[in-house]
Amino acid sequence: MPLFEYRCEGCGSVFEHLARSAGEKPAACPRCGAKKVEKQFSTFSAHQAPESGLPSCASGSCSAGACATGACPFSAS
Ligand SMILES: [Zn+2]
């Protein structure tokens, strides 16, 4: 069963809810009881690479790990 994360629009707390079906929503926030809850991105998608394109050497921390040596294959120059 998929585990979804929800954020309460009332108190802002984030909680997890085990859904038995894809469209199921938790009835209310377990903390304050508000029924306005917003589904968050799952923890699975949170670990995927961003869709913004190639890693950037500008930050000095691209995935190649060779920015500091000047031999990074992703370097623009
Ligand atoms: Zn709440």
Q: Please tell me the pTM assigned to this model.
A: 0.48
CA of 29 to the centre of ligand 1 (A): 5
pLDDT score recorded for residue 4: 83
CA of 26 to the centre of ligand 1 (A): 12
Determine the 3-state secondary structure of 73 from DSSP.
Answer: coil
Determine the 3-state secondary structure of 43 from DSSP.
Answer: helix
Instruction: Name 22's Cβ contacts closer than 8 Å, sequence gap at least 6.
Output: 2
Condensed to tens digits (0 to 9), the pLDDT of residues 18-61 reads: 877 767 777 799 999 999 999 886 555 444 445 555 555 555 55
pLDDT score recorded for residue 21: 77
CA of 46 to the centre of ligand 1 (A): 23
Which architecture, in CATH terms, is 3-46?
A: Single Sheet (2.20)
CA of 4 to the centre of ligand 1 (A): 16
